[in-house]
Structure 1
Amino acid sequence: MRRNLVIITSFALVMSLFGCDNGRNIQTICKNNPEICADLHKDGWCLAEKTKLIQSRFDLIGHNNPTGKQLYQQLTYLEDYSRCIELASGVQHIIHTNRTADRARAFRLSTQNLSQLQDDTRERQDPFMSYYQWTRFGDTQALNRLLAQESAGEVTEPFLLAQIATYYSSRNAIKAQQLYLKVFASIQFDDFDPSWLLGLASTYRQTQQLDKTYMLTKANLLLTQQKYSEDKMLALIGGNKTLAVTLDQYAQNLIDALKDGHYSSSPVAQWLTPQRIEVHAPVATEVVIEKP
C-alpha cells in the first residue's frame, strides 16, 4: 500500500512538472526565477498548494502595482500553502531527514512571509482587500467600506458579490436576492459555487416564495448529488406533487442555463427576478407559474 502511494505521488509530481504548459510549470518557473521558489520546500508534499503559489508569484513579475485581486490571491494561496506545509513539517522522514528539516524551514518562512504581506497590504482599500481585512481580522471599517463600494457599483467580481449577498441574506432578503442573481448572470460555470443556490433559496424562504425555495434547493441537490428526503422537499410546497414536477424541470433549466452561459436570457432568470412582496403571500399550493 505504501509503495503504491509513493508511485502515485511521484506520477502526480511528474505530470505537474512536465505538463503541456511548459511556460507555467513550476520546474521551469523555479529554474528561470529561483527567487520565486527559494523559501518553499523541495519535495512533493503540498504540491497543489505550492503550484498555485508559484504560478501566482510568477504572474506578478513585472507588476509594480498589483491589483487587489492579485494580492488577495497571493494571500490566500500563501495561507493554503502554510497550513499544508505545517502538517507536512510534522511528518518525520526516517531516511532523508533533510526533507523533514526543509519542510520545517518552509513552514517557518511561510508564516513570516504571510505576516509581512498582511502588514504590507493593510492600508489597501480596494474591494478585494476590504473583504480580506474584514474576514481575516474582523475589521468592521473594512466591512462598511466594502458595502459602500458595492452600493456605489465598484464591486463587479462575482466572487465578491456572492460574499456580500451572503452577508445580506439574514439582513435584507431582497438585496441578497438581487446580488445572487447578478452573480448568476456573470459567473463562469467553472467558478460557480452550488452553495449559492442554497443561499438564494433561504432568501426566498424569508419572503415566503416557497416555490422558488424548492426549485433552488433542488438545483443544488442535482449539482451536488446529495441524498435528500423527498417528503421534506415536498413539504416546502404543501405536498403538491404536480407543482414539484414543474419545479424539478425549472431546476434543470437553471443548471443548463448556467452551464451554457445563457442565464441572463433564460425564462427562469425572469421568473427568479425579485418581485414586490405582497402583504398576504399566497400559500405554496396556490402558486401559479408559467413554464420557462
Structure 2
Amino acid sequence: MSLLAIFGLFGCDNAANTATICKNNPELCDDLHRDSWCRYERADLIRKRFALKNTPSPSGKQIYQHLINLENYNKCIELAAGVQHIMHPERTNDRVRAFGISAQNLQQLRDTTKDNPDLYLSYYHWIRLNDQAALSRVIKAQQAGLIEDIEILASLASYYQKSNLNKAKALYLQLLDQSDPDNFNPDWLLGLASIYHQQNDLEKTYLFSKANVLMTRNTASDAKMNALIKGNQQLAQFLDEQADTLVEHLKNGDYASSEIRAQLNTSS
C-alpha cells in the first residue's frame, strides 16, 4: 500500500479546526472514534492528516511526525477501548473499532517506511522499534555531518554514552552549541556530568551537575558535591560561578559565542 493511500491524501482544503476538517474531509476522520476520549490525540492526528493531505510530496519529517501522532492515538484509544460504558455500550464498541483500525494503519505505515533511507524515518524505526539497520543509517548521516535535528543528536549522544564516551561527550557539547532556550534539555548537563565522572574529571562533574541543579528543580547533596572536589571551598566557589555563567548563557541562547564555551571546549 502506498503512503498516499494510507494517509487518504486526496483533494485540498484550508479548514482550521478539527470539526470543520472532518465535515469537509470525512475520509480523514471516519476511522476514528466519536466520543470525547483521547480528544487531544484525536485532534492532533486529524490536523496532521489534514496537513499531509495538502502536501503533494510529504517530507520524511512530516511522515515521521504523522507516525508519532498515529502511535499516540493508538496507545490512548487502546486504553479507552478497555473502559466499558454501561449506559452506552455502542461507545465502547466504537472505541474498539477505532483501536483496531488505528493499529492496522500504524503497522501498515511502519511496514511501508521500514527500509526508507530518509533520516527521520530511519530515526523512527531505530528509536521506536530498535531497528539496527535504521540505526546504521542514522549513524552514517551523523558521521557525514548531515544531522542538525536536536532530538536526533540527543538520542545519538545517549546511545554513545553506553559505548563511546568521547563521541557522546562531543555530541552533548554540540547540543549545547546548537540548541536554544526553547529546545534545550537540562538532562544533557547530567549526561555530561556522568561522562566526566566516568573519565575521572571531577571538576567538570561538579560544574555540570551544579548547572543542572540551577536549571531544574533537581537537588544535589552538598556533601557529595563537595566530596567530588575534596572539600576545596575555594574551588567550589569558582566552579559555582562557572556554573552560573554557563546557565546564564544557555538561558540567553548565546552559549555558542560565549567565553565559557571556549573554556569548556578547550579543556574538554
Q: Of 206, 213, 221, which aligns to 2:198?
A: 206
CA contact (8 A) 1:174 1:274 kept: no
Q: What is aligned with 1:151?
A: 143
Give 1:173 deviation, angstroms: 2.1
Aligned mate of 1:240, from 226, 232, 239: 232
Cα distance change on mapping 1:43 and 1:236 into 2, 3 Å: farther
Per the alignment, do residues 101 and 121 of structure 1 end up closer, same or farther by CA in structure 2, a change over 3 Å counting?
Answer: same
User: After TM superposition, what 4+ stretches of structure 1 lie above 4 angstroms from structure 2?
Assistant: none
Q: Using the TM superposition, give the Cα deviation of residue 271 of structure 1 relative to its aligned residue in structure 2, in angstroms.
A: 2.5
Q: In structure 2, the residue corresponding to 1:221 is in which secondary structure?
A: helix
Match of 1:256 among 233, 248, 261: 248
Task: Note if 1:122 corresponds to 2:129.
Answer: no
Structure 1: which amino acid aligns with 2:222? E
Higher mean C-alpha displacement, 177-186 vs 144-153 = 177-186
- For the 8 Å contact 2:125–2:134, the answer to whether it is kept is yes
Of 39, 45, 50, which residue of structure 2 is paired with 1:53?
A: 45
Change (3 A) 1:220 1:46: farther
1:122–1:133 contact (8 Å) kept in structure 2: yes
1:98 is aligned to 90
Distance 2:243 2:18 in 1: 41
For residues 25 and 123 of structure 2, the distance between their equivalents in structure 1, rounded to whole angstroms, comes to: 31
Aligned-residue offset at 1:274: 5.7
Equivalent residue runs for 1:262-277 within 5 Å:
262-273=254-265, 275=267
Check 1:34–1:236 CA distance in 2 against 1; reply closer, same or farther (3 A cut).
Answer: farther
Aligned partner of 1:79 in structure 2 is 71
CA shift in 2, pair 1:45/1:257, >3 Å? farther
Verify the 8 A CA contact 2:157 2:169 in the aligned structure 1: yes
Normalised to the residue count of structure 1, the TM-score between the two structures is: 0.79
**Alignment correspondent of 1:18:** none
The percent identity for this pair of structures is: 49
**Secondary structure of the structure 1 residue equivalent to 2:115:** coil
How far off its partner does 1:87 sit?
0.9
Give deviations 1:9-34, integer Å, cap 9, x for gaps.
xxxxxxxxxxxxx9643233323332
Partner residue in 1 for 2:26: 34
Query: Retained in 2: the 8 A contact 1:177–1:274?
Result: no
Query: How many residues get paired?
Result: 255
Mark the CA change 1:243 to 1:31 in structure 2 (over 3 Å): closer, same or farther. Answer: farther
Structure 1, 187-196 or 155-164: larger mean CA deviation: 187-196
Shift of 1:159: 0.9
Matched residue, 1:164:
156
Aligned partner of 1:200: which letter?
Answer: L
Amino acid at match of 1:255: V
Q: Verify the 8 A CA contact 2:114 2:122 in the aligned structure 1.
A: no
Q: RMSD value over aligned CA atoms?
A: 2.2
Corresponding residue of 1:5? none
Structure 1, unpaired ranges of 5+: 1-21, 277-292
Q: Which ranges of structure 2 fall in alignment gaps of 5 or more residues?
A: 1-13
Structure 1 position 223, deviation (Å) = 2.8
Quote the residue 1:220 is aligned against: 212
Question: Structure 2 length normalisation: TM-score?
Answer: 0.85
Report how far residue 268 of structure 1 moved. Answer: 2.4
Inter-partner Cα distance in structure 1 for 2:209 and 2:99: 41
Question: Equivalent residue of 1:191, what SS?
Answer: coil
Distance 1:134 1:106 in 2: 27
